[in-house]
Amino acid sequence: MAKGTVNLRYFVLGLLAQQPMSGYDIKRFLKSLDWLIGSPSSGSLYPVLRALLQDGLVTVEVIPGIDRPPKKIYSLAGAGRQALDNWTDQPAVPGAPLKGFVMRLLLAGSLPHTRLVAHLEQRRVQVAAHQKALKQASAGPDGATGSDAAAGSGQHLAQDYGLTLATAELAWLNHTLERLSN
Amino acid sequence: MAKGTVNLRYFVLGLLAQQPMSGYDIKRFLKSLDWLIGSPSSGSLYPVLRALLQDGLVTVEVIPGIDRPPKKIYSLAGAGRQALDNWTDQPAVPGAPLKGFVMRLLLAGSLPHTRLVAHLEQRRVQVAAHQKALKQASAGPDGATGSDAAAGSGQHLAQDYGLTLATAELAWLNHTLERLSN
DNA sequence: ACACTCATGTAAGCTGTTACATGATTAA
DNA sequence: TTAATCATGTAACAGCTTACATGAGTGT
């Protein structure tokens, strides 16, 4: 598999699907949404681009910058489109970090709407399950056989926090899904 | 520094501050809040415990389980308390992932309330800044000099998502901070 | 003179995971 | 007898970051 990352690999592929870009362009774009997903460092990004090139998933066009360092504009190749589709077809791994979901959201532009809806619905199921679990945990944790360890006040705080976020996310998912069926 | 992680290291230290536990206990406890922070694998947890022991930050008591494998109960040592305090004193790194904040939340039980409040306030500042940035981005991105790359519909979705979560988190922070001043 | 943006890249290291190995006890 | 829970651990590697290196142009 020629060495290279896995997550970032497909995410970059997805970005290139929306528009051909250089490595530097990608970094600038991602820096603008730094808080959500964090932008990759050169140390991870450039190797990924080279790996994608070596695997024939993208093509380059070198634009010799007049007065500027030359730019390497990467574009999605046929095989890249294939690989990307394969990837977006499979559902997100259950315990995927938030980051993964936001990434998929960002790729929405290069996704058939049915697939986007499917992803959102999948997320809804997972968040709902999580919310339910947190509610149960908050409700009746006390008493039992010594139900558990380290039940500091922090645990309650964290559960409350998680519950709030999960509820907000669910509301957004419902609202967005409804909006998308128009 | 005897090899070992950095994040997990202090988090484990914080858990042990609330209550002596074995490695397995820690895993079980964290698995119950898997969604929020994900629980560490044996491959990271056990080496951390050994490193903490080697550095004299914790002590062990081996309880030879009758009928069970022996348990190693780790407790915070004096030097460990020191190290932990040092760590909790310094503010979270600006771009810290959500995970980091929730971890600190979980350690609230072994924190003086002033420090907890400080952490929450710091977080409030950061989330507020983030929220503001997202609002600006959503408001006037169109038009300019070709303001930017890959502005797919996905970007808008992700921004909206982020804005919703940030707003919910801010509300929670305000509410919680208010509650804590009683 | 200094520093910053543009633009690419390499080397070394940290943090963590996956997958395996061990071994005893209990439930299907 | 097959699997799951309890309990600890190791080896290999994936994925990323930090810090460096290069080099031109632009602004103060």
pLDDT over threshold 70, residue A1: no
CB of residue A46 closer than 7 A to nucleic acid strand C? Answer: yes
Range with the lowest mean pLDDT among B11-25, B64-78, B116-130? B64-78
pLDDT in tens, A156-178: 999 999 999 999 999 999 999 99
- Closest nucleotide (CA of A27 to C1')? C7
Q: Work out the minimum CA distance from A64 to partner chain B, whole angstroms.
A: 20
Q: Are strands B71-76 and B58-63 parallel, antiparallel or unpaired?
A: antiparallel
Strand partners, B58: B76
Average pLDDT over residues A55-64: 92
Quick count: other Cβ atoms within 10 Å of Cβ B145? 5
pLDDT score at A97: 67
B104 near B119, Cβ under 8 Å?
Answer: yes
**How far apart, in whole angstroms, are the C-alpha atoms of residue B14 and residue B110?**
7
pLDDT score at A145: 37
* Interface contact flag, B107 A154, Cβ < 8 Å: yes
CB of residue B18 closer than 7 A to nucleic acid strand C? Answer: no
Across the interface, of B158, B167, B171, the residue whose CB is closest to A33 is: B158
Q: Which residues of B4-14 are buried (b: 16+ CB within 10 A; e: fewer)?
A: beeebbbbbbb
What percent of chain A shows pLDDT beyond 70? 85
pLDDT score at B172: 98
In chain B, the residue whose alpha carbon lies closest to the alpha carbon of A108 is: B154
pLDDT over threshold 90, residue B41: yes
What is the separation of C-alpha A169 from the centre of its chain, rounded to a whole number of angstroms? 15
Integer distance in angstroms from CA A66 to C1' D28?
A: 25
**At B89, is the pLDDT very low, low, confident or very high (cuts 50, 70, 90)?**
confident
Q: Is residue B105 less than 8 Å (CB to CB) from chain A?
A: yes
CB of residue A43 closer than 7 A to nucleic acid strand C? Answer: yes
Average pLDDT over residues A83-99: 78
Contacts A–B by Cβ distance under 8 A: 147
Quick count: other Cβ atoms within 10 Å of Cβ B160? 17
Mark residue B123 as left, alpha or beta (left: phi above 0; alpha: psi -120 to 50; beta: remaining): alpha
Helix/strand/coil (H, E, C) string of chain B?
CCCCCCHHHHHHHHHHHHCCECHHHHHHHHHCCHHHHCCCCHHHHHHHHHHHHHCCCEEEEEECCCCCCCEEEEEECHHHHHHHHHHHHCCCCCCCCHHHHHHHHHHHHHCCHHHHHHHHHHHHHHHHHHHHHHHHHHHCCCCCCCCCCCCCHHHHHHHHHHHHHHHHHHHHHHHHHHHHCC
pLDDT in tens, B153-164: 888 999 999 999
pLDDT over threshold 90, residue B99: no
Across the interface, of B34, B108, B162, the residue whose CB is closest to A152 is: B108
**How far apart, in whole angstroms, are the C-alpha atoms of residue A147 and residue A113?**
45
Average pLDDT over residues B18-38: 90
Question: B residues 113-172 near A, CB within 8 Å?
Answer: 130, 133-134, 137, 148-150, 152-155, 157-162, 164-165, 167-169, 171-172
* Interface contact flag, B158 A110, Cβ < 8 Å: no
Strand partners, B59: B75
pLDDT score at B65: 67
**How far apart, in whole angstroms, are the C-alpha atoms of residue B59 and residue B77?**
6
Integer distance in angstroms from CA A16 to C1' C26?
A: 54
pLDDT score at A147: 44
Q: Work out the minimum CA distance from A98 to partner chain B, whole angstroms.
A: 9
pLDDT over threshold 70, residue A39: yes
Q: Which residues of A127-156 are buried (b: 16+ CB within 10 A; e: fewer)?
A: beebbebbeebeeeeeeeeeeebbebbbbb
Range with the lowest mean pLDDT among A13-22, A131-140, B82-91, B168-177? A131-140
